[in-house]
Structure 1
Amino acid sequence: MTGEAFEWRPIPEELQQVVQLLQHSQSPDTQTQRSVQERLDQLNMHPEFCCYLVFILSELKDEQVANRSLAGLILKNSIRLLWSRLPEQIRAYVKSKTLLAISDPHPLIRATVGIIVTTIVVHEGIAQWPSLLPTLCGMLDSQDTLLQEGAMGAIQKICEDSADMLTPQEHLDTLIPKLLCFFNSPHAKLRALAVNSVNCILLVQTDPLNNIMDVFLQQLFSLAADTDTEVQKQLCRALTLLLDSHLDKLVSQLGNIVEFMLLRTQDANESTALEACEFWLALAENPAVCKEALLPHLPKLIPVLVRCMRYSEMDVLMLKSDVEDDSAVPDRQEDIRPRFHRAKTQTQRHSEEDGTSIDPEYMEDDDVGDDASTEWNLRKCSAASLDVLSGIFNDDFLPTLLPILKETLFHSNWLIKESGILALGAVAEGCMNGMTPHLPELIPFLINSLQDRKALVRSITCWTLSRYCHFVVQHDHNLYFKQLLKELLARILDGNKRVQEAACSAFATLEEEANMELVPYLSEILATLVEAFNRYQAKNLLILYDAVGTLADSVGSNLNQPQYVQTLMEPLMAKWSSLSDDDKELFPLLECLSSVATALHVAFLPFCEPVFRRCTALIGRCLQQVQVALERPNEYDMPEKDFLIVALDLLSGLAEGLTDHIDPLVASSQIVALIYQCSLDASPEVRQSSFALLGDLSKACYHHLQPCIHMFMPILTSNLNPDLISVCNNSIWAIGEVAMKMGEGMRQYVPALLPSLIFVMNREKGPKTLLENTAITLGRLGINCSAEVAPYLPQFIRAWCLALRNIRDNEEKESAFRGLCIMININPAGVLGLSAPVWALRQLGDILYCGDARGMLFAYSWSQLTANSARLNDSKPVFEVSAFGVEPGKMNPHEVNSIETLGENKLIYGGAFDNAVRLADSERPDKEFIFLCDAIASWNHPQPDLKMMFSRILHGFRQQVGDANWVAFTSQFPIPLKQRLNVQYDGGLGKVGGAVKGGPGKVGGAAKGGLGKVGGAVKGGRVISTFNGHEGNVNELVTRSEHEFVSASEDGTVRVWDTRTAQASRLIRICDEPQLRRNGCGIGVCALDICGSLMVCGGDIDLGLWLFESGTLITRMQCDREPTMRHLVAKMDSGRILCGGTSSQLFEYSYSGEHVTSVKTSASAVYSIEQNKFPGRQMTTVAGNSHLIDAFLCLGYVSFSLSTSLCAQE
């Protein structure tokens, strides 16, 4: 093929050959299609082949539309594979010719053009085609409707595929207003494409719409009465997206929106109804708003959702519901869903509430409706909506739902009955309390429905019963359990494959709930499962493996009986031998064998060696393939890493089950080197499984790891990222296992480990298993590395106790609590003494909060200070804690510059550690120790020496604080906790007498100060969230409401923050105000206060009075200050402004800016002023660069000064 780029012309003979090739490609003959494909592959080697394809698409108007469109689709595939290698002139030709066809009269050609355009943008970026969007926008201005539709279609596809490439300045500021204009187009297709395009943008970036949101909403609402189906669908999608990004803009209209969505959820077009139904799921993401908005509408919404859960006539046909017995029909390959192995997560199986997965997916294993379809549809969406909404409204659902259930469950129409059973299952979790009185009637009904003549009813009944297994297991076996087990086992062998699948899944759930209660029935269970191996087709075998593995997990070593071992292992090993190394059925089989090996312990030894050898071979082969793919990416694809993961997990199961019996196999293999390679893999799942195996081998045969443990520890430390939950979890668990074997040798790694472990421990709403493992590992580190860990007790003690309070007595729990007790012995006070200037003050109720130059937060009881001012040297803080999690003296600067209160029990503070503001709890430390007591009380039978440790801690604390304080403190305890501690620990909560011999307050040689602050049990200052945005240190904070505060920074700005979003909603650049002078030292804003509509602020800049809302300067304070003086603090109160800075003077100004008076303080620089309004004792406190806090009853003399260095002088 020949030709020049810009003047390219096709050679007629070659053009005709390509056209004929396109015609032949549509032949039904397989051999013809194969020949065509081979020829296409050959032609793709020639760059000019793309020119022929685009020429046919755009120029051959008389050619068949199917051939022209096919040329475009082949061109799209060529672009995807070859675009970067095509000469520039050919790329330019393809672009120009493609756009020429954008107004073609045939919709198929216009759509194909849009596909080609977006494919080019995806592969080269929008920046490489700068004229594209301006050209398309220009086409939208045309009067040619076909040109408009073609251009809008291309824009929509670009937005769908590449909205993240579009920037406000270059693209969106022009494009979005243009799209909004078409919301009112007379052509429905243009309206729909315009709304769809904006939705695609909104899905990935919301900021470009912020400034025009009101206009956007107005245009959207105008479409409510639009008669076009696609417009209605896109409108529903837009409103759903806005719930996440701009809920505040929708709140006032939520009532109308809910009514509209109710109507659209019942739309005759299922696609539109599905989009509307998504709205309920999105609204449920904000439970408080959802409850307020939907409560009045529940009587309408619930019946609509239940109706939408019925199978349609088309569903019934597609599911072949008339075929009751299809168990002998082989599965088609497309019927078998892709199965992705979930890498092993190390869990604490001793929790009181087992079965909580780290990242549960509602739809993943609980496929609502069990309709054998992976496609998300209206039925599934409605059931999921009913589920999550019932979790929000709980029993408020039932007055409307119960009559519906009564009608549907017993309906003669099996389709209606089936939907009622589905609804009953969907609300199981949310309405369990209210449903419980009805379950004695409903459970037998459901069990009987397992024999229904319709397979779809039997299958959904299996699913619904699985949702109520917890109730069944809680009651006498003769009531429900035996009958349910019998019927489920019968359904596992049902003649219908869909019922088999549902029954197997339901039985796996029953196994998880029943655990050891299954042991008496193991013979019948195993006989059924083994028979299922003989009957099941390929798809259901995958679920059968899961049921067998779950059985092993649930009954554990009870499977280790000769008759059970032989029965179970025979079909499993037969499958093991029949599968090749690259057969994906190995995934579930290996998972199953991992659980079985763990349960059988030494009984698995006869099968161990071939399994171990094959797994190590799989790992080695896969790692070699990974290396080859990395070195030669153009020649080799990356291998399927699931083989790697499942092999690691099976070896982990072998190590856990066989313990030290695995030693000879490890010794004669390269498994340690393979684990090391896997621990460096880019795949999180591979690392996750490698860490699980590392931990299990540490327990089973640590001596094989010891020579290279120094290589593993940095890798484990680098994987403590809680955003990768399971990787982090397994890494922490492995660290704990290594720590138990490594002893004092672990000390060198503690400084690098602790910050991450403490961060994970305090993570809000962290996964239960992750928190349990983190707590156990911290406790285990405390056994041999107590001196390194004990100083940090205040930063994790409460979260630690909460994480382990529900753990059953066992070795892991014991080791963790031993470590905790040792750390409390070393650090009973839990905090360091202070001697540093106070930079920030704030009063909240009776508590005066202080922040100092060393980054510490501490607090005094204001009533005690003012009532006992003559005995101030006896005053002690009620708590002390590191504000930024940094040990004092280890890093500078990190002073606390400002503290503000937020609501009744929250603080916000900022300083010089970084440029962020932190939101923290402000609770008193005496609220902390109760959690330690609760954790101690969680033990049923601690070892005698551990029980003695607990007793000493409790008695020591009681003796130290005295009788009156102890009674007041323990009065907060729940009665069961008091009674349990009294019984277990010699009346520990009774009278003060009877302390442990050796003296209270000296637990194992504890430091002076005793246990008045056991373990530094401090909650005040625990960070809840962090607000980032300032480019300089945060100097001052002011609270406006529970949800809004204002900050001032060294970057010369004042920012307004929303605590609900952790985002800045406004920015005022104080440093840009020309009327204010600077001191020549910078642009920082240090002093800030707000009263009503007025704001005072200053720093390196003159102090000025501003209108807060508009950010307008009113007046400048008339200050006779030194040219280099810096204003550090200002307070507004009763028409006056108090100000301090790099001077010993406290200044008073009027709102007009006049200087009223000045008084001298104890400091040479004033950092903080607080107007304390404790009833009957109003005064002003001032702190600065001394160790004194001055208290003024009136602004003329110092009433008294409080020293903050007393703790250090003890």
Structure 2
Amino acid sequence: MGSPWTPQEAGVHQICYLLAEVHKPGTDQGQILDQLEQCKAFPDFNNYLAFIFAQADSLPLEVRQSAGLLLKNNLKDQYEGTTEDFRRYIKLALLHAIGNPSKPLRHTVGTNVAVIVGVGGLPTWPELLSAIATCLESSDPHALEGALDALYKICEDTPVQLESEVPGAPDRPSSVLVPRLLRLFQSPHEDAKCLAVSILNLLAGGMPHAMAANLDTYLAGLFALAHDPSTEVRKAVCTGLVQMLQLQPDRLQPHMHDIIEYMLASTQDGDEGVALESCEFWSAFCEAAVDPQTLRPFLGRLLPVLLKNMMYDDFDEEVADVEAAEDAALSGIVPQEEKDQEVKPFIHKASAHGDSGSESDGEEINRWNLRKCSAAGLDVLSTVFGDEMLPIVIPIVRQRLQEGEWRVRESAILALGAISEGCATGLLPHLEDMVTMLLPKTGDARPLVRSITCWALGRYAHFLAQRAQQPNGGLAQLDKVLQGLLAGVLDRNKHVQEAACSALATLEEAAGSALEGRLQVMLEAMALAATRYTRKNLRILYDALSTLADAQRGNLAPHIPVFMPPLIQRWQGLDDTDRELLPLLECFTSLAQALGPAFEPFAAPVFKRCERIGLVASSNLRAMVVQCCQDASADVRQSAFALVGDLAQNCMQYVRPALPLILELARASLDPSMVTGPNMPACNNACWSLGELAIKAQPEELAVVAMPMLERLVGILAAPLGSMPRSITENSAITLGRLAWICPDPLAPHLEHFIAPWCSALRTVRDDVEKEHAFLGLAALLRLNARGGLGGFVQLCEAVVSWHIIRCDGLRHELIQLMQMYRTNLVQVNQWDRYSAMLQPAVREKLTSMCQL
């Protein structure tokens, strides 16, 4: 053991001076930050930061917090290379400050603690577990809240650590902590109650043994807090109940009537946070293995509440943005080209590996609100209850369409679009009337009404196309809808243009030959739009033109003089380095395929430019991809990981020299701090590319990253229901399966800790080759650790029966053998009836038939 480290006064003074200067207005921030960066060269720099942050009580709060935040950033990169003596000093300093009277400092302690646990593991810091356990029973509210904050961040980042073996601990960390957390449900301190519930919600996602053993107490605690005066506590309660509905619906079934009543009341709560969390319940109910009959009697009260919540509120940022654009257009102000940071980098259609919401694209993920959640709930409910919802919904919609308040009219149109698929059969007889009601709204004075009308018409495009084939006036109605959408394409407001172009593309795809006689007027409108649009909407316009080319093929040739001049003019005005070339090139690709020889006059200049800018073979592409995978811009990372996945699919030998680094960059992109709204498309592509790399890699190449990857993927899978988009959850489930398929040995011993959320996610994945890969990985782990499957037996069975057709014979036989093995083994110990009784009747019936049980 080395000598205890002691800070030198001069060093403390110099670093404090730099940290203080950062906060002073008028200073050269870049120079100060450069000096702090240079300090990293000193081995004990982080010790100084820890001392200033945790023990320099006389310094200003902002200086100490800056030291703590800088320490956190440094520890992410430098902790593994720090000497044990210095690690020990930093850990002691953090434990010293965990109960600091300052809440910002306590929270910064928690962030640092989570980083150290994430990098070094909980077993290397047994004092932390002891300190947290002690603080959870402390009467000091600061110590209590500080420990809870640190524990929450650990569970959020690396929940698997709570199942590790910690030296000197009487049991696994979760077994030590869960009973103490449950007792805090009765704490007089609001923050403590809220954090205790939130931590247990996180743990429930992975369902460790300690949670399973205390599940009844946990549920009783949630019920007891359901009417807590604190809105934050009630939000956490709603989150917990929604998650339990997904993970353990059978446990909630006896209380379902009361839970529905509670969630119905909470969805109308005056606090939007409570209303939003409880509104997630309705989608979760429809996706859970629960008898819908339980909810049916409530539809008459529930649906009007959802319709009411679908209105924009008075202070919605989206309303302000759209109305500002409208005012500018009415004033004759020509819209300016968007800045680079306002336009997402172009992603080739086949390389975007996540789906978007029914009404909003990936950019809207970070704007999830009660309006969108209510619309999503109505959409999912319609897929379960179908036409029986119409007698409730349609009268409300009809009445609201006549309202003078535009927000009410807009919400009614949103509702019509939301139920378009689930209530299709019942809506078809009313389609003509509905379209007649909707078409005037394409000219509404309010831009968001015009925009949502275009979106809703796009949702009915498939039915409109079907009717156009019938000799009963359907073609005339299609013409009216087309006119309305083309008016939107040429609308003065860029938000309406965007919605109209997207809906037009949907109609083009659905209507096919029915549009043949209308190509001239369509292409004239699109050509005019090409001269008016700015960069962002040009991309959507190019997509609509590409879709039309794919649908019409040779029919476009006679109209070349209409649409090619503005495209060529745009092409000639772009420099070789302008990224706007990429979407235009993709449009040209579709046009060239559709036009054939008619594209010949344009082929030579296009080919020469492509040849000039596309010299991939002699470029340093691999290094550029690696660099882009760690770019500060989420949009650049999104494109880079899309390319990594494509390269893995088609030329793995090109990627292999950089495989260890690319795998680490993919893992870093799935860090909990990264998996947030603005980063979500990049995280999705990183996750997808990881799966593509896994199935082309060797087991020994994956072995070194298998456990760190597992922690990241399980963190996403075990996140509270509704906190992650479905696309990232399903991508994570598939990627985990692919990783397990190729490299099962390191993962199998830990199966019991993640099988429940993993199988819950696999259940919703559509039947395809990616799902086959995921289940091959699941089977590989079950072969090595069949007992681990019992921790999520219900979810496992639900995942198995989620298949409609298993086309891979080997996989089908293996799943049958595994389920038969479980039945045989459980029968031998008189447990089969108990496990079988846990299954919903429909699941049990299909499992019996499918696996010959």
* TM score, norm. by length of structure 1: 0.52
> Kindly tell me: are residues 724 and 11 of structure 1, through their superposed partners in 2, closer, same or farther at Cα, counting changes over 3 Å?
closer
> Kindly tell me: are residues 724 and 636 of structure 1, through their superposed partners in 2, closer, same or farther at Cα, counting changes over 3 Å?
closer
> Kindly tell me: are residues 461 and 127 of structure 1, through their superposed partners in 2, closer, same or farther at Cα, counting changes over 3 Å?
same
Corresponding residue for 1:596?
591
Counterpart amino acid of residue 107 in structure 1: K
> Kindly tell me: are residues 646 and 180 of structure 1, through their superposed partners in 2, closer, same or farther at Cα, counting changes over 3 Å?
closer
Once residues 211 and 437 of structure 1 are traced to their aligned partners in structure 2, the CA distance between those partners, rounded to angstroms, is 54
Find the residue that maps to 2:89 and give its secondary structure: helix
Corresponding residue for 2:520?
523
Q: CA deviation at 1:144?
A: 1.2
> Kindly tell me: are residues 71 and 769 of structure 1, through their superposed partners in 2, closer, same or farther at Cα, counting changes over 3 Å?
closer
Q: CA deviation at 1:409?
A: 1.4
Residue of 317, 323, 329 corresponding to 2:335: 329
Q: Structure 1, residues 924-953: CA drift from partner, whole Å, max 9, x if none?
A: xxxxxxx9xxxxxxxxxxxxxxxxxxxxxx
Counterpart amino acid of residue 57 in structure 2: K
> Kindly tell me: are residues 635 and 515 of structure 1, through their superposed partners in 2, closer, same or farther at Cα, counting changes over 3 Å?
closer
> Kindly tell me: are residues 1026 and 179 of structure 1, through their superposed partners in 2, closer, same or farther at Cα, counting changes over 3 Å?
same
Match status 1:116 vs 2:112? yes
Once residues 545 and 643 of structure 1 are traced to their aligned partners in structure 2, the CA distance between those partners, rounded to angstroms, is 22
Corresponding residue for 1:259?
261
Match status 1:430 vs 2:436? no
Contact kept, 8 Å, 2:629 with 2:637, in 1: the verdict is: no
Match status 1:502 vs 2:504? no
> Kindly tell me: are residues 175 and 295 of structure 1, through their superposed partners in 2, closer, same or farther at Cα, counting changes over 3 Å?
same
Once residues 30 and 86 of structure 2 are traced to their aligned partners in structure 1, the CA distance between those partners, rounded to angstroms, is 28
Corresponding residue for 1:971?
none
Counterpart amino acid of residue 348 in structure 2: H
Corresponding residue for 2:672?
none
Q: Structure 1, residues 681-736: CA drift from partner, whole Å, max 9, x if none?
A: 999xx9xxxxxxxxxxxxxxxxxxxxxxxxxxxx9x989xxx999x99xxxxxxxx
> Kindly tell me: are residues 326 and 675 of structure 1, through their superposed partners in 2, closer, same or farther at Cα, counting changes over 3 Å?
farther
Once residues 800 and 237 of structure 2 are traced to their aligned partners in structure 1, the CA distance between those partners, rounded to angstroms, is 38
Corresponding residue for 2:485?
488
What does 1:915-934 correspond to in 2, within 5 Å? none
Contact kept, 8 Å, 2:383 with 2:423, in 1: the verdict is: yes
Flag the structure with more relative contact order, 1 or 2, with Cα contacts below 8 A and sequence separation at least 6: 2
Corresponding residue for 2:832?
1056
Once residues 641 and 262 of structure 2 are traced to their aligned partners in structure 1, the CA distance between those partners, rounded to angstroms, is 51
Counterpart amino acid of residue 278 in structure 1: E
Once residues 813 and 177 of structure 2 are traced to their aligned partners in structure 1, the CA distance between those partners, rounded to angstroms, is 40
Find the residue that maps to 1:430 and give its secondary structure: coil
Corresponding residue for 2:312?
311
Find the residue that maps to 1:131 and give its secondary structure: helix
Contact kept, 8 Å, 1:425 with 1:465, in 2: the verdict is: yes
> Kindly tell me: are residues 160 and 1019 of structure 1, through their superposed partners in 2, closer, same or farther at Cα, counting changes over 3 Å?
closer
Find the residue that maps to 1:289 and give its secondary structure: coil
Once residues 638 and 20 of structure 2 are traced to their aligned partners in structure 1, the CA distance between those partners, rounded to angstroms, is 41
Once residues 71 and 608 of structure 1 are traced to their aligned partners in structure 2, the CA distance between those partners, rounded to angstroms, is 60
Find the residue that maps to 2:355 and give its secondary structure: coil
Q: CA deviation at 1:538?
A: 2.2
What does 1:698-717 correspond to in 2, within 5 Å? none
Corresponding residue for 1:408?
400
Counterpart amino acid of residue 404 in structure 2: S
Q: CA deviation at 1:229?
A: 1.1
> Kindly tell me: are residues 386 and 337 of structure 1, through their superposed partners in 2, closer, same or farther at Cα, counting changes over 3 Å?
farther
RMSD of aligned alpha carbons: 4.3
Question: May I ask how many residue pairs the two structures share in their alignment?
Answer: 698
Of residues 638-647 and 521-530 in structure 1, the stretch that sits farther from structure 2 once superposed is: 638-647
Residue of 7, 13, 29 corresponding to 1:10: 7
Q: Which ranges of structure 2 fall in alignment gaps of 5 or more residues?
A: 165-170, 663-692, 698-729, 736-761, 771-796, 841-853
Corresponding residue for 1:64?
60
Residue of 1047, 1070, 1076 corresponding to 2:824: 1047
Counterpart amino acid of residue 595 in structure 2: L
Contact kept, 8 Å, 1:619 with 1:643, in 2: the verdict is: no
Residue of 437, 440, 449 corresponding to 2:441: 449
Counterpart amino acid of residue 599 in structure 2: F
> Kindly tell me: are residues 240 and 194 of structure 1, through their superposed partners in 2, closer, same or farther at Cα, counting changes over 3 Å?
same
Q: Structure 1, residues 760-805: CA drift from partner, whole Å, max 9, x if none?
A: xxx999968979xxxxxxxxxxxxxxxxxxxxxxxxxxxxxxxxxx
Counterpart amino acid of residue 592 in structure 2: A
Find the residue that maps to 2:479 and give its secondary structure: helix
Find the residue that maps to 1:19 and give its secondary structure: helix
Find the residue that maps to 1:310 and give its secondary structure: coil
Corresponding residue for 2:240?
238
Match status 1:557 vs 2:559? no
Match status 1:184 vs 2:176? no
Contact kept, 8 Å, 2:630 with 2:637, in 1: the verdict is: no
Residue of 318, 343, 361 corresponding to 2:355: 361
> Kindly tell me: are residues 245 and 583 of structure 1, through their superposed partners in 2, closer, same or farther at Cα, counting changes over 3 Å?
farther
Q: CA deviation at 1:635?
A: 11
* TM score, norm. by length of structure 2: 0.73
Corresponding residue for 1:161?
157
Q: Structure 1, residues 468-514: CA drift from partner, whole Å, max 9, x if none?
A: 12232223355322222122112112111111111111111111111
What does 1:571-590 correspond to in 2, within 5 Å? 571-576=566-571, 579=574, 584-590=579-585
Q: Structure 1, residues 966-1010: CA drift from partner, whole Å, max 9, x if none?
A: xxxxxxxxxxxxxxxxxxxxxxxxxxxxxxxxxxxxxxxxxxxxx
Q: Structure 1, residues 312-336: CA drift from partner, whole Å, max 9, x if none?
A: 1110664352541546333355543
What does 1:266-305 correspond to in 2, within 5 Å? 266-286=268-288, 289=290, 291-305=292-306
> Kindly tell me: are residues 343 and 616 of structure 1, through their superposed partners in 2, closer, same or farther at Cα, counting changes over 3 Å?
farther
Identity %: 35
Which has the greater radius of gyration? 1
Kindly indicate which of the two structures has a greater share of residues assigned to helix. 2
Q: CA deviation at 1:283?
A: 1.1
Q: Structure 1, residues 179-232: CA drift from partner, whole Å, max 9, x if none?
A: 111111111110000011111112234554222211111111111121111111
Once residues 830 and 225 of structure 2 are traced to their aligned partners in structure 1, the CA distance between those partners, rounded to angstroms, is 40
Q: Structure 1, residues 380-400: CA drift from partner, whole Å, max 9, x if none?
A: 111011001011000111121
Q: CA deviation at 1:7?
A: 3.1
> Kindly tell me: are residues 90 and 625 of structure 1, through their superposed partners in 2, closer, same or farther at Cα, counting changes over 3 Å?
farther
Corresponding residue for 1:1140?
none
Contact kept, 8 Å, 2:203 with 2:211, in 1: the verdict is: no
Counterpart amino acid of residue 397 in structure 2: L
Contact kept, 8 Å, 2:194 with 2:232, in 1: the verdict is: yes
Once residues 37 and 258 of structure 2 are traced to their aligned partners in structure 1, the CA distance between those partners, rounded to angstroms, is 57
Residue of 220, 223, 230 corresponding to 1:221: 223
Residue of 147, 151, 162 corresponding to 2:147: 151
Once residues 427 and 366 of structure 2 are traced to their aligned partners in structure 1, the CA distance between those partners, rounded to angstroms, is 30
Contact kept, 8 Å, 1:492 with 1:528, in 2: the verdict is: yes
Of residues 500-509 and 79-88 in structure 1, the stretch that sits farther from structure 2 once superposed is: 79-88
Q: Structure 1, residues 63-89: CA drift from partner, whole Å, max 9, x if none?
A: 222222122111111112222222222
Contact kept, 8 Å, 1:576 with 1:589, in 2: the verdict is: yes
Q: Structure 1, residues 244-276: CA drift from partner, whole Å, max 9, x if none?
A: 211111011111111111111122222221111
> Kindly tell me: are residues 625 and 120 of structure 1, through their superposed partners in 2, closer, same or farther at Cα, counting changes over 3 Å?
farther
Corresponding residue for 1:343?
350
Kindly indicate which of the two structures has a greater share of residues assigned to strand. 1
Corresponding residue for 2:723?
none
Contact kept, 8 Å, 1:126 with 1:165, in 2: the verdict is: yes
> Kindly tell me: are residues 361 and 625 of structure 1, through their superposed partners in 2, closer, same or farther at Cα, counting changes over 3 Å?
same
Once residues 615 and 1019 of structure 1 are traced to their aligned partners in structure 2, the CA distance between those partners, rounded to angstroms, is 41
Contact kept, 8 Å, 2:652 with 2:696, in 1: the verdict is: no
Q: CA deviation at 1:560?
A: 2.5
What does 1:573-722 correspond to in 2, within 5 Å? 573-576=568-571, 579=574, 584-608=579-603, 611=606, 621=616, 625=620, 627-628=622-623, 642=639
Residue of 389, 392, 413 corresponding to 1:421: 413
Corresponding residue for 2:126?
130
Corresponding residue for 1:467?
459
Q: Structure 1, residues 855-874: CA drift from partner, whole Å, max 9, x if none?
A: xxxxxxxxxxxxxxxxxxxx
Q: CA deviation at 1:607?
A: 3.9
Find the residue that maps to 1:319 and give its secondary structure: helix
Residue of 565, 568, 579 corresponding to 2:563: 568
> Kindly tell me: are residues 113 and 315 of structure 1, through their superposed partners in 2, closer, same or farther at Cα, counting changes over 3 Å?
same
